[in-house]
């Protein structure tokens, strides 16, 4: 998992409430367990016409937001089913941070496990960040995980809370496998001790 420290990007505004995981990545694309390639189908029903052409009015199809790494989303983002393909699709598209007033719990937890930083902010701060995002390429945000700050283009700062353990994992690029491998020496020592005590096992 890639480390997350500081991220500067134009932020894409998606001010819709209750965006569920089927809107993020429709069920017809869940036949794969591969993470690569899912970004093409992110928000597919909102992003493409029936003939496969892009809908010009959808935010991620607009030139200013095609390379965004930050999404400013509405309340209860990621609700619905627990599919892990939803953060996979966001990450494969290039989005490393989602900011919203509230997230669905399972989606929120899955983001951390996949190197995406989900940030919860107050409605007042969300309004400020949404205003920044709607300026398009004229405004960038900087997300500083170490400082727990989101800095706007005009110098405004929004602070956010995060669980210290999750912060540690993101800063160091540790998913569940990475956390286990941090204890590789202890695991090896246990295995050697067990082998000596039970050579027949």
How is residue 154 annotated by DSSP?
T
Distance (Å, whole) CA 48 – CA 61: 9
Does some domain include residue 192? no
Give domain status of residue 117, yes or no.
yes
Q: Is position 181 within any domain?
A: no
Looking at the DSSP assignment, which residues form a beta bridge with residue 141?
9
CATH number, domain at 143?
3.20.19.10
d(CA 196, CA 190): 10
Residue 12 in any domain: the answer is: yes
For 64-120, the pLDDT digits (tens) are 999 999 999 999 999 998 889 999 999 999 999 999 999 999 999 999 999 999 999
pLDDT value for 35: 76
- Would you place residue 149 in the very low, low, confident or very high pLDDT band (cuts 50, 70, 90)? very high
C-alpha separations of 130 from 75, 101, 133 in Å: 12, 11, 5
Give residue 147's domain range. 6-173
Position 161 in a domain: yes
Which pLDDT band, with edges at 50, 70 and 90, does 199 fall under? confident
**Full-model pTM:** 0.89
Q: Is residue 160 part of a domain?
A: yes
pLDDT attached to residue 109: 96
Is there a domain that residue 132 lies in?
yes
Q: Is residue 189 part of a domain?
A: no
Number of structural domains found in the chain: 1
Q: Which 3 state secondary structure label does DSSP give 131? A: helix
Contact call for residues 12 and 46 (beta carbons, < 8 A): no
| Structural tokens at position 164 | 């210290």
């Amino acid at each position: 998992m890639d480390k997350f420290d500081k991220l500067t990007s134009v932020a894409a505004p998606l001010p819709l409430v209750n965006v569920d995981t089927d809107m993020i990545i429709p069920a017809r694309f869940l036949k794969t367990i591969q993470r690569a390639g899912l970004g093409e189908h992110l928000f597919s029903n909102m992003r493409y016409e029936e003939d496969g052409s892009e809908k010009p009015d959808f935010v991620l199809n607009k030139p200013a937001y095609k390379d965004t790494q930050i999404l400013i989303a509405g309340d209860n983002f990621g609700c619905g089913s627990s599919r892990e393909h939803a953060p996979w699709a966001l990450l494969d598209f290039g989005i490393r941070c989602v900011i919203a007033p509230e997230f669905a719990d399972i989606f929120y937890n899955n983001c951390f496990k996949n190197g995406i930083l989900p940030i919860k902010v107050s409605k007042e701060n969300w309004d400020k960040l949404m205003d920044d995002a709607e300026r398009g390429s004229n405004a960038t945000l900087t997300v500083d995980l170490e400082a727990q700050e989101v800095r706007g283009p005009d110098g405004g700062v929004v602070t956010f809370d995060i669980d210290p353990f999750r912060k540690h994992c993101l800063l160091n690029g540790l998913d569940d496998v990475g956390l286990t491998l941090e204890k590789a020496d202890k695991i090896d020592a246990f295995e050697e001790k067990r082998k000596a005590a039970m050579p027949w096992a």
